[in-house]
Chain A
Amino acid sequence: MKIDWAALGSVFGVSLVITVAMVGVFTLGIVGLSRRERALAQGESAGAAVTGAYACFAACAAVVAYGIYLIVA
């Protein structure tokens, strides 16, 4: 009997990094959107925050697309 510790370890590592990164980046995107919401409420503009937010969401979408690619492939 041979337990594939390397595979298990890489599942653990990859899952941990991707999950934390995804959630972190997505949260930053949402922080950006919230900032715009507040800025709009005060009549200011928050262009940088919005651009950053959409960049974050785009990164998440790319990861999801890769996930779907993994399912299909």
Chain B
Amino acid sequence: MESFSLILAIVVVTALAFDFTNGFHDTANAMATTISTGALKPKVAVAMSAVLNLVGAFLSVEVANTISKGLVDESGIRPEVIFAALVGAILWNLLTWLVGLPSSSSHALMGGLIGATIASAGTGAVHGDVLVTKVLIPAIAAPLVAGIAAMLATRLSYALSAQRAEGKAAEKGFRAGQIASAGLVSLAHGTNDAQKTMGIITLALVAGGAVSPDSDPPVWVILSAGLAIALGTYLGGWRIIRTMGKGLTDLQPQQGFAAQTSAATVILASSHLGFSLSTTHSVSGSVMGAGLGRKGGVVRWSTATRMFVAWGLTLPAAAVVGALAEYVTGFGAWGTALVAVFLIASSAAIWVVSRREVIDHTNVNDIEDGTEPAGVVTTAIAAVTPPPAGTVADGLTATIPAPAEVTAKPSATAL
């Protein structure tokens, strides 16, 4: 750890911050359906996921090595580039969290890295073919594979159990199965995503000359990355959990089980067979597939469409922010400081905006229309509609945010 410069320290801290956002962004992947079907209490679910993420972080360093040894030329990379990349990734993660949309943290990270690398070393330093084969194709394949598998599994499960699996035993059984498969997703997530941060920190250390090229992540990197992602997971991205668990479709424990099993299988099969698929994309796909698999099940395509748009934007948006940040850091130390201040200020601003409508473990299952911030619609309509005489204002606000497609629970109207 000799020659540990200030910029390197900044990069490491920023990388851990990204890891943290990654954790709370992706809690939903493992636990959204478990929480929405009531298989686990919200706090218990995120705690379990956090522990398994932490465990997963220690299991292997393979993914970390792909990041630090594949996508971009290590030789042309300065720590500032990685810092800029992380700024892009963190901001995109926070923005999508604010609007409650699941999106791939890995894509955000790769986008930031690509943008910053282009700004720094030109387009030649990015391996375009790696980009297509490792990013674009998997992004399309993951939800399809997981979705189709989950849909067929759900169909089969309902066909097998029709009128024959009812009562307490069935209910408890599917819950247990769902918890187990969700645990497996958490574990796989820890091995995948905590390692992305390890890969990034290692890349920065290599770029800064603190460790030799092609080396595995040092132990302190593994430990801190595991802790950061576990902490983020425990705090829980409740907005995204709500979208994934309740916004896309309505799941029963049986469907939740099929969805998580499909997601876990796809993630494990893909990483083992060398065609790595995004956890977020797999889980979103399997949740929708499970929604479609039950008779009378619906997928809310409006929410799904917004999610797909977010997926499409993830890489370019993070790339643009990463490129801009890299451009500014190019002005020297004060440029880097400026970017750091910008990152902290934007994160704080996003947090402040999020406090306007708090979503946490107490109301994560109370759904209005998808993830549409009900307050905006309600206040807009309330502003243009003069309250008719004899109508209680509360009645107005209570009925608007829940259109017919969702049978709103009474607790939702109390918000």
Contact = CB atoms under 8 A, between A and B. Distances in A.
Interface string A18-50: 111011101111110111111000000000000
Interface string B149-160: 110111011001
20 contacts: A1-B129, A2-B129, A11-B141, A11-B269, A11-B277, A15-B262, A19-B153, A22-B261, A23-B261, A27-B157, A27-B160, A27-B165, A34-B165, A35-B164, A36-B169, A37-B168, A67-B264, A71-B56, A71-B268, A72-B60
B137 A3 contact: yes
B257 interface: yes
B308 interface: no
B59 A27 contact: no
Nearest to B142: A11
B346 interface: no
A15 B275 contact: no
Interface string B252-277: 00100110011011101110111101
B133 interface: yes
Interface residues of A, number: 38
B48 interface: no
B269 A31 contact: no
Name which of A15, A36, A38, A60 has the most chain B CB atoms within 10 A of its CB: A15
A30 B258 CA distance: 13
Nearest to B293: A23
A14 interface: yes
B268 A27 contact: no
Contacts of B275: 4, 7-8, 11
Interface of B: 56, 59-60, 128-129, 132-133, 137, 141, 145-146, 148-150, 152-154, 156-157, 160-161, 164-170, 173-174, 177, 180-181, 184, 187-188, 191, 254, 257-258, 261-262, 264-266, 268-270, 272-275, 277
A66 B133 CA distance: 27
A70 B165 contact: no
A26 B177 contact: yes
A71 B60 contact: yes
Contacts of A62: none
A34 B174 CA distance: 12
A58 interface: no
Contact of B167 (A34, A67, A70): A34
Nearest to B180: A64
A18 B269 contact: yes
Given A3-B132, A31-B161, A68-B184, A15 B170 contact: no
A34 B170 contact: yes
B160 A28 contact: yes
B191 A71 contact: yes
A15 B149 contact: yes
Main secondary structure of the interface of B (DSSP, over half): helix
A33 B268 contact: no
A4 B128 CA distance: 15
Contacts of B169: 30, 33-34, 36-37
A19 to B, nearest CB: 4
A70 B272 contact: yes
A18 to B, nearest CB: 5
A11 B262 CA distance: 12
B156 A27 contact: yes
B170 A24 contact: no
Contacts of B168: 37
Contacts of A70: 268, 272
A57 B154 CA distance: 18
Contacts of B161: 27, 30-31, 34
A27 B270 CA distance: 25
A22 B160 contact: no
Given A11-B277, A23-B153, A31-B164, 7 more contacts: A8-B137, A20-B152, A23-B262, A24-B157, A31-B161, A33-B165, A72-B60
B360 to A, nearest CB: 30
Contacts of A72: 59-60
A23 to B, nearest CB: 4
What 9 pairs across the A-B complex have the smallest Cβ distances?
Answer: A23-B153, A1-B129, A19-B149, A33-B169, A30-B173, A7-B275, A27-B157, A19-B262, A37-B169
